[in-house]
Amino acid sequence: MSTLVSNEVILEPADNKRLSSLCGPFDDNIKQIERRLGVEISYRNNKFKILGEALQANGAAELLKLLYIETQPVKGLVPQLEPEQVHLAIQEARCLEREETTVYGKEINIRTKRGVIKPRNPNQAQYVANVVNHDITFGIGPAGTGKTYLAVACAVDALERQEVRRILLTRPAVEAGEKLGFLPGDLSQKVDPYLRPLYDALFEMLGFEKVEKLMERNVIEVAPLAYMRGRTLNDAFIILDESQNTTTEQMKMFLTRIGFNSKAVITGDITQVDLPRGVRSGLRNAIEVLENVNDISFNFFKAEDVVRHPVVARIVTAYEKHDSEQEKVRLAKKAAAEQEKQNQAAASDTANKEAGDAGNKP
């Protein structure tokens, strides 16, 4: 039986506006922490009391301290803590509660409207460290694990530090199970819908005007994968997004475009392939072919690494469980069919032998 403990935290300096921001409208932020960590929180002024199991209570105490730091005034104004910030902080606090220690590698210090971009869990931390230390990095896992977002952050960081001269973002132009038909406009307008997630990440990190200026000067280039053939990309940070929708030929073509002083990050989710039936995913093939190649790292994310709405992680887990059960059924049917085939062959051999024996009798 678990033992409940009571923790007290005094948040200094006492500031009613900061405390109001921390708690949120109608204490929504406090309720979210209570619900997610399974604790009870009561407070009076800047003194908070936390009741729960030791691990969760200690985690909630540290979480409150971290969130209170986020409420520090900026240019005299106290920022309002959003539910999404609280959710991300909870994700980070949970990973800090684990017994094993994780080296976070190089921290990404890109300041955006949402604050400094940094890894939120050990897998993300290892992913960032691998991007920094390897020429080619694969980020593979379900939606919402930060694969693309962190890759773009690393690219922006490298550009700001003048480690590379340009950023190139690409992805295959494949519809997600729908046929959109003819799209009007010039080339840029035709491919923009496919590349929109990459634009969104750039706009958030650098601002719309700066991104537009960098794109005009070709410092940032966003292009469909089909236009990569024949190019050699030197002094560049290259990101291939949605790589599960590449063919084996496209993946090989992309990987052989990488030139001197360049880095490449390939992201994808092998459970969401939109290629025509019978076409092998280039990402699946690359995992098998490049597994033991030096200077290439593979990072596999799981449902618990999802940093979107908590229900997304549960959705991913449910689909993984369903797919696993379906695979077991498929294998059982295949084994039964093989056994039936062997039984029929054995019965046929027996019948033929008996017929032969009967024909040989005088």
Q: How confident is the model at residue 138 (pLDDT cuts 50, 70, 90)?
A: very high
Least confident range from 68-72, 77-81, 102-106, 281-285: namely 102-106
Q: How confident is the model at residue 264 (pLDDT cuts 50, 70, 90)?
A: very high
Query: Minimal CA–CA distance to 307: which of 87, 64, 86?
Result: 87
**Angle of the 282-289 helix axis to the 248-255 helix axis, nearest 10:** 60
CATH class, range 4-97: alpha beta
Instruction: Answer for the pair 28, 46: CB distance below 8 angstroms, yes or no.
Output: no
d(CA 198, CA 191): 12
pTM of the model: 0.59
d(CA 250, CA 256): 10
Q: Percent of the chain scored above 90 by pLDDT? A: 11
Instruction: Answer for the pair 149, 204: CB distance below 8 angstroms, yes or no.
Output: no
Query: Minimal CA–CA distance to 36: which of 297, 318, 309?
Result: 309
The CATH label, of 3.40.30.10, 3.90.550.10, 3.40.50.300, 3.90.79.10, for the domain at 111-316 is 3.40.50.300
pLDDT tens-digit readout, 320-347: 677 677 778 878 888 888 888 888 877 7
Query: Minimal CA–CA distance to 81: which of 10, 126, 24, 8?
Result: 24
Strands 40-44 and 166-171: unpaired
Please state, in angstroms and as integers, the Cα–Cα distance from residue 184 to each residue in 169, 180, 227, following that order.
Answer: 22, 11, 19
- Report the pLDDT value the prediction gives residue 101, as an integer from 0 to 100: 34
pLDDT tens-digit readout, 21-62: 999 888 888 988 887 788 899 999 899 999 888 888 888 888
Cis amide leading into 13 (omega within 30): yes
C-beta neighbour count of 197 within 10 angstroms: 15
d(CA 91, CA 87): 6
DSSP codes joined into one string, 40-84: EEEEETTEEEEEEEHHHHHHHHHHHHHHHHHT--BTTBPPPPPHH
Q: Which residue has the higher pLDDT, 239 or 304?
A: 239
Q: In the chain, what are the domain boundaries? A: 4-97, 111-316
Instruction: Answer for the pair 32, 10: CB distance below 8 angstroms, yes or no.
Output: no
